[in-house]
Structure 1
Amino acid sequence: MPGKIVSPEEWLTARKDLLEKEKAATKASDQFTTAFKGFPMVKLAKQYTFDGPNGKITLPDLFEGRKQLIVYHFMLGPDDAAGCEGCSFLTDNLPSSLAHLHARNTSLVLISRAPLEKIESFKKRMGWNFPWYSSSESDFNYDFHATLDGSNSSTQYNFKESAPDVKGERPGMSIFYKEGAELYHSYSAYSRGLDHLLVTYRLLDLTPLGRQDKEVGGWKLHDEYTEEEKKEGAV
């Protein structure tokens, strides 16, 4: 039993106390969100080209005529057999329809260093419809610190220097803004900085059992859960 059994009156008292904490958390979240407005941006001078279903495409093309672009750096490298479980979990939590983002002048895409054929195969397996491009022939992942490789002068992750011999793909999200023909980098987040995107966690946080990470362990690709796990849970 995860919680104490109490009377309705005691429950209401506890709920009102929790409500005050919720209000404080919401206010803090609002203050954090406000910090994004007017946040400094860096003008991009470098050109990037990606492989997409219809051939080569540039970074400005990814905006699809909109002013803002959200890029999720998905961990799927050239030698990976499948996508990262954590990145797949996050992608499962992205909006099933991008219409609401599009209506706010914002596009969203996934980018990985794996060749396009591997991306398309994994995308089909997962049943996703998000635009997803390969950066295999550009420095995009290195420049925005989603791939670590000392030989490519990419050793920084989550705004800290990593050991020069640390290599490989890392999760991250980068935001870009377009004004006329000019492109700007406005924001990037990595590691736990992506947690607030995980709606599944937000929902589980409201339940008596919570996230259950220690009891159940890590996340699986959504097509790897057994029927028994989906019916009764893993514990």
Structure 2
Amino acid sequence: MDKLDQPAATPQVADRSTFDAALAGQVAREKEVTRHDDRVSAARRRLPMVEVVDYTFTGPDGPVRLTDLFDGRYLLMVQNVMFDPSWVAGCPSCTWAVDNLPANMDRLADEGIAFAMISQAPIDKLEAWREQRGWDHTWVSSHDTSYHHDWGWTQTDDEGNEGQQPGYSYYLLKDGTPHLTYMTTARGTEAILPVAHIMDRTVYGRQQDWEDSPEGWPQYPTYG
């Protein structure tokens, strides 16, 4: 079965009053989630910050410092795109996340927020993948720096195997020095993925195998 094929399973049909009552209960639960999210965001704004080395990355035209990524602004969001140096293509889920970015990135710039992507693969591999995907975002390579290991975007297990983490880093430029104010990985990345949230609100959700869905609801491997 393909996601484009309509599933046979559907919710139970109810009269209008029953639907309205059930919807009101759901809206009440969602409003509590919103209020809790507001409290979490308030705590996030009170986090300390830590000074970060002004790393020298490699861009398509040569060296690019971390401070250059601010592009004249004081706030910077970095998407750490999983792209191991040995790979020939970017991580599928990270690629999907990049495709989820706003169509008009000037909306971020209007708020004083610069955006850039950093990956560990050499710049020639990043440029080849960029061309294939049709992206025009600033994308630099950390291949010749310790950035990925310093901040846990590449981790080494007990057997010496390296694995990458997807996620976002948020920076503040203060007196010419970059500071990390927040970072998130794993499902913390979902906060800025609009397609995922749109799917959540359809009757079948994301159709992924970890979801708690009614019997008969379509589900597919999360990373299939």
1:198 and 2:205 correspond: no
Q: Which residue of 2 aligns with 1:143?
A: 150
Q: What amino acid is the match of 1:173?
A: Y
Q: Structure 1 vs Structure 2: percent identity of aligned residues?
A: 29
Q: Which residue of 2 aligns with 1:95?
A: 102
Q: Which residue of 2 aligns with 1:23?
A: 31
Cα distance in 1 between the residues matched to 2:132 and 2:204: 31
Structure 1 residue runs of 5 or longer lacking an equivalent are: 150-161, 221-235
- Does the aligned pair in 2 maintain the 1:89–1:219 contact within 8 Å? no
Q: What amino acid is the match of 1:213?
A: Q
Cα distance in 1 between the residues matched to 2:135 and 2:201: 27
1:86 and 2:93 correspond: yes
1:12 and 2:7 correspond: no
Equivalent of 2:221 in 217, 221, 235: 217
**TM-score, structure 1 as length reference:** 0.83
* RMSD between superposed Cα atoms in Å: 1.6
Q: Which residue of 1 aligns with 2:136?
A: 129
Cα distance in 1 between the residues matched to 2:148 and 2:37: 29
Cα distance in 1 between the residues matched to 2:176 and 2:159: 36
How far apart are 1:163 and its partner, in Å? 3.3
How far apart are 1:78 and its partner, in Å? 1.3
- Does the aligned pair in 1 maintain the 2:196–2:206 contact within 8 Å? yes
Structure 2 residue runs of 5 or longer lacking an equivalent are: 1-8, 210-218
How far apart are 1:144 and its partner, in Å? 1.2
Worse-superposed segment, 31-40 or 57-66? 31-40
How far apart are 1:38 and its partner, in Å? 2.9
Alpha-carbon displacement from aligned partner over 1:12-58 (angstroms, at most 9, x marks no partner): 111111111111111111111112223200123x3311111221110
Equivalent of 1:40 in 38, 42, 48: 48
**TM-score, structure 2 as length reference:** 0.87
1:63 and 2:70 correspond: yes
- Does the aligned pair in 1 maintain the 2:126–2:139 contact within 8 Å? yes
- Does the aligned pair in 1 maintain the 2:51–2:180 contact within 8 Å? yes
Cα distance in 2 between the residues matched to 1:219 and 1:108: 26
Cα distance in 1 between the residues matched to 2:54 and 2:16: 62
Q: What amino acid is the match of 1:185?
A: L
How far apart are 1:219 and its partner, in Å? 5.1
